[in-house]
Amino acid sequence: MWRRRGKRWKSANVLRTTSASGKKVGDYGPLSEDRWNDGTPPMHGFKAGTATERVRELDLGDRIRVERREKHWYAVGPGGDYGQLRWRAGDSPIMTKSGVAVHLPASGTLEISWLEVSAENEVIDVGGVVYPD
C-alpha cells in the first residue's frame, strides 16, 4: 500500500519508471478487457495538457466525480476540474473482444489506482476505473 509522506512515495510497488526519474506507482488492477466486460471502463490518464494543478492533491484510493460535457469527460471536484479524460464520444460503444458493447457513462466515480509521480515527487497524472452512476 502506498502512503504519502511529505513529498516521498514509499512502497515496493513501482509499476514502471518514466522519463527523468519519474515513476508510476500503485496497482493497474485487472486487465482493461475485464474492466470493460464488468461495465466499469478504465481511465488511463488525462488528455495531454489538460491536467490542472489540482492533480497534485490526489492520492491512491481517492474517489472523484466524472461527468460528460458535450463530447468530453472531466474529473471534477468541489474546487473545479482535475483534467479531461482521454475518452472520446466517438469511441462509444466500445466492443470488447468477447463481443460485449459497453457505453461510456454520462457520469460516475473515478477510483484512483495508480499515480504518475515526477522526479520532484509531485503527482502529475492518475488512472483507475470509473464506476457509472
> Residue for cell digits 488528455?
47
Reference 65, options 53, 78, 52; nearest CA is 78
The DSSP-derived string for 116-133 is: EE-TTS-EEEEEEEEEE-
pTM: 0.78
Q: Which amino acid is at 133?
A: D
Domain boundaries, the chain: 12-132
**What residues have CB less than 8 Å from 124, skipping those under 6 apart?**
22, 51, 55, 56, 116, 117, 118
Q: Are 102 and 96 in contact (CB under 8 A)?
A: yes
The strand ranges marked E within 12-84 are: 14-17, 23-26, 42-43, 63-69, 72-77, 80-84
Reported as a single tens digit per residue, the pLDDT across 39-98 is 678 888 899 999 999 998 888 889 999 999 999 999 999 889 999 999 888 777 777 777
Check residue 34 and give its pLDDT: 67
108: helix, strand or coil: strand
Rounded Cα distance, 123 and 132, in Å: 25
Q: Say yes or no to pLDDT of 8 above 50.
A: no
In b/e form, how buried is each residue of 70-91, taking b as 16+ CB within 10 angstroms? eeebbbbeeeebbbbbbbeeee
Reported as a single tens digit per residue, the pLDDT across 95-126 is 777 777 777 889 999 999 888 888 777 888 88
